[in-house]
Structure 1
Amino acid sequence: MASPPEHPPTPTPYGTPEAPRIAVRGEAHLEVDPEIARIGITVSARGTDRKDALNHLTRRNTTALDLMNTYGDAIEKLETGSFSITPELTKHGRGERIRAYHGTVHITAELTDFTALGELTTRLADLDLTRVDGPWWALRPDSPAHRRARQQAVHEAVQRAREYAEALGTTLAALVELADIGAENAQPYSMEAQSRSMRTTSFDAAALDQPPALDLEPERQHVHAQVNARFTMSPPAL
């Protein structure tokens, strides 16, 4: 009669005296320069009738887009987010009488050339009924900084586990588990000045009949990564 197949013993979550386990956490925090800057542009118009408001809005939207298109590769992405045309009713009197129409267009621009950012921002803000918000600094989703942070977190976990094993007079034997518990762009810890400043270029504003460029200082980005790791080690002599 054939004997039943042997099954390997189920490993216990806490290891065994013959193969003790070490559980550690590795963390990394990097502070790096931003790679992109986003600004929001809101173009507005008002008219006594719908067609009048739309004509003003179309003209101002085209002016803003034409201005941004002159910056070429400095603007990596240009998107129109939303458009609205809203009637304004009179506050007094009976009935629904329309006093005027308000129109808005929201545009988002993503720049990689920070030297052009300050100049573009002020030139946009100088346009009629145009609002500029931002900039919002960020890293690309595939930024090498995220990879460096994850690798650094793993290296720290291995180093920490080795130190625990050395404290027991033994060495690591094998990696049992490596769990990624988060690697993301965290909120900045402070609004301190950057170690490396990026300044906008200057130009003759009077000759161009334009406002001077804003001197914008990019906000440093904080990248955080954490991993949980479990190792087995050779049995220590206690």
Structure 2
Amino acid sequence: MTAPAPEEPGPAVPYGTPDAPRIAVRGEAHLEVDPEIARIGITVTARGRDRRSALDDLNRRNATVIDLLTSYGPAVEHLETGALSLTPELIRHGRGERVRTYHGTVHLTAELCDFTALGELTTRLADLDLTRVDGPWWALRTDSPAHRQARRQAVHEAVQRAREYAEALGTTLAALVEIADIGAESAPSLPPAPGAMRSRAAGYGAPGGPPDEPAPLDLRPQRQHVSAQLNARFTMKPPKL
């Protein structure tokens, strides 16, 4: 006579049972910390009556900006060049058109980690001819410890909240069933468009200005808000109701 096959365990139920009541809670953490980096956008402009003179002027101004940025050494943590354009401006000439002048632009982005140099650098950049400065945009690094701290605090809050519910029923927690970021199973939201966060820090430098450099701008770092949210589910020992 063969022994009966052992019963296979049934699937886990998505809800609690009288022997293992379930608690679902939300954990949140909100921190306010100092920024770690600041980004500025630089737009260099040039114009000339012919294509070559406009391009040469743009190249010279771009080199001046890069030399100024690199002179700050480690304070400028990252520097990259974005879009470059050289566009003819047309005017009507009789029945046709002819080129009146050429406009050239080049966009650069600089990332600074030394805020003591930021005010002086942005002022010197804005004082250059036909140079525009946008920003600064304050931010944290993607691997900033602040993100880890917020996640840990959110977990601790979830555990504390679940314990308080269990204590209100005269019992204690038994086990952790699940923990998940809010929205972890849904489609990620799109980041805001770059133009939505743009703020003008300085405008075009006035050509023919005084040879002495202007006083540095007093730029105050903007505190950064870091948050973490999660859902957590626990089982608890059956309470005596």
**TM, length-normalised to structure 1:** 0.88
Name 1:163's counterpart in structure 2: 164
Name 1:77's counterpart in structure 2: 78
Q: How does 1:184-195 map to 2 (within 5 A)?
A: none
3-state SS of 1:39 partner: strand
Name 2:219's counterpart in structure 1: 216
- How far residue 10 of structure 1 moved from its aligned partner, in angstroms, is 2.3
1:51 paired with 2:82, answer no
Deviations 1:163-208 (CA, angstroms, capped at 9, x unpaired):
000000000000000112269xx99xxxxxxxxxxxxxxxxxxx98
Gaps of 5+ in 1: 188-206
Name 1:194's counterpart in structure 2: none
**Corresponding letter in the other structure for 1:177:** E
Distance 2:79 2:101 in 1: 30
**Corresponding letter in the other structure for 1:228:** N
Name 2:143's counterpart in structure 1: 142
3-state SS of 2:97 partner: coil
Aligned residues: 218
**TM, length-normalised to structure 2:** 0.86
- How far residue 95 of structure 1 moved from its aligned partner, in angstroms, is 1.7
Name 2:28's counterpart in structure 1: 27
Deviates most, 218-227 or 9-18: 9-18
Q: How does 1:4-153 map to 2 (within 5 A)?
A: 4-91=5-92, 93-153=94-154
Distance 2:53 2:183 in 1: 52
3-state SS of 1:115 partner: coil
**Corresponding letter in the other structure for 2:150:** A
Distance 1:168 1:58 in 2: 74
Distance 2:171 2:37 in 1: 48
**Corresponding letter in the other structure for 2:229:** Q
- How far residue 82 of structure 1 moved from its aligned partner, in angstroms, is 1.1
Deviations 1:129-162 (CA, angstroms, capped at 9, x unpaired):
0000000000000000000000000000000000
Deviations 1:24-70 (CA, angstroms, capped at 9, x unpaired):
00000000000000000000000000001001000000001001111
1:226 paired with 2:233, answer no
Moved over 3 A (4+): none
- How far residue 19 of structure 1 moved from its aligned partner, in angstroms, is 0.4
Distance 1:220 1:94 in 2: 59
Q: Percent identity?
A: 76
Distance 2:213 2:31 in 1: 39
* Contact 1:182-1:226 at 8 Å conserved across structures: no
Deviates most, 13-22 or 85-94: 85-94
3-state SS of 1:157 partner: helix
3-state SS of 2:55 partner: helix
Distance 2:47 2:94 in 1: 22
Gaps of 5+ in 2: 185-190, 193-209
